[in-house]
Amino acid sequence: MRYYIIAGELSGDLHASYLLSELKKQDSDAVFRGFGGEKMENAGCFIVKSLKDLAFMGFVEVVTHLKKVLNNIKECKEDIKRFNADAVILVDYPGFNLRIAKFVKQLNIPIFYYISPSVWAWKKGRIKTMKRLLTKLYVILPFEKDFFAQNNMEVCYFGNPLVDEIADFRRETTVKINDGKPLIVLMPGSRTQEINKMLPLQVKIADKYPQYHFAVAAVNTHNRSFYEKFTGNRPIDILYNSTYSLLNSAYAAIVCSGTATLETALFNVPQIVCYKANIVSWYIGRLVANVKYISLVNLILNRECVVELLQDKCNIRQIDTYFQKIVLEEKERIRIHNDYIQLNMLLGKEDTSKKIANDIYTFLSHKK
Q: What is the 3-state secondary structure (H, E, C) of the chain?
A: CEEEEEECCHHHHHHHHHHHHHHHHHCCCCEEEEEECHHHHHCCEEEEEEHHHCCCCCHHHHHHCHHHHHHHHHHHHHHHHHHCCCEEEEECCHHHHHHHHHHHHHCCCCEEEECCCCCCCCCCCHHHHHHHHCCEEEECCCCHHHHHHHCCCCCEECCCHHHHHHHHHHHHCCCCCCCCCCEEEEECCCCHHHHHHHHHHHHHHHHHCCCCEEEEEECCCCCHHHHHHHHCCCCEEEEECCHHHHHHHEEEEEEECCHHHHHHHHCCCCEEEEECCCHHHHHHHHHHCCCCCCCHHHHHHCCCCCEEEEHHHCCHHHHHHHHHHHHHCHHHHHHHHHHHHHHHHHHCCCCHHHHHHHHHHHHHHHHC
Q: Which pLDDT does position 54 carry in this prediction?
A: 60
CA distances from 368 to 84, 224, 332, 363 (A): 15, 49, 56, 9
Q: What span, in angstroms and rounded, lies between the C-alpha atoms of 183 and 169?
A: 19
Residues 6+ apart with CB under 8 A from 312: none
Q: Which pLDDT does position 99 carry in this prediction?
A: 94
Give residue 181's identity as a one-letter amino acid code.
K
Sorted by where each starts, the structural domains of the chain and their CATH numbers stand as 2-158+351-367 (3.40.50.2000), 168-347 (3.40.50.2000)
Asked if residues 89 and 4 have their Cβ atoms less than 8 Å apart, the reply is yes
Q: Which pLDDT does position 276 carry in this prediction?
A: 80
Q: What span, in angstroms and rounded, lies between the C-alpha atoms of 78 and 72?
A: 10
- For the chain, residues with pLDDT lower than 70 are 53-66, 174-175, 277-290, 368
Q: Which pLDDT does position 66 carry in this prediction?
A: 65
Q: Which residues of 277-314 are buried (b: 16+ CB within 10 A; e: fewer)?
A: bbeebbebbeeeeeeebbbbbbbbbeeebbbbbbeeeb
Q: Which pLDDT does position 64 carry in this prediction?
A: 52
Q: What span, in angstroms and rounded, lies between the C-alpha atoms of 202 and 234?
A: 12
**Alpha carbon 28 to chain centroid, angstroms:** 29
Q: Which pLDDT does position 269 carry in this prediction?
A: 98
Q: What span, in angstroms and rounded, lies between the C-alpha atoms of 76 and 234?
A: 43
